[in-house]
Amino acid sequence: MFEAWSVPVLGALHVLCLALFAGTVLTDAPELRRLRWIGLALMILTGVLLFAANPARTYGSWSFRLKMLLLAALVFVRGPRWLKLTLWAAVIVASRGIAYY
């Protein structure tokens, strides 16, 4: 039974961590920086666990590969805030396709 629920629960936690991270990114409040890093760390952890649950299928998805390219762009892009937010939105859209494509 645990295996049947593990991927959906991890997926839900991944989205919640994304919401925590994104919510703190949208504000410049210094007291929320710790929450930003916690959200990012948990998002990475749950993402790695989701990948590990079915690596062959996930890696074979063009949506996953697009998501990884967009995340790499986020790491290396030094641009205006609107560009980074647009890239994050594109990451989210690409993520939705992993289950289907």
Instruction: Output the tens digit of pLDDT for each of the chain's 101 residues.
Output: 457 788 899 999 999 999 999 889 888 889 999 999 999 999 999 999 999 999 999 999 999 999 999 999 999 998 998 999 999 999 999 999 998 88
In this prediction, residue 2 carries a pLDDT of 56
In this prediction, residue 38 carries a pLDDT of 96
For the entire predicted model, the pTM comes to 0.85
- Short-list 46, 47, 27, CA closest to 36: 27
Give the containing element (helix H, strand E) for 49: helix 33-53
In this prediction, residue 99 carries a pLDDT of 85
Sign of the dihedral through C-alpha 18, 7, 52, 97:
negative
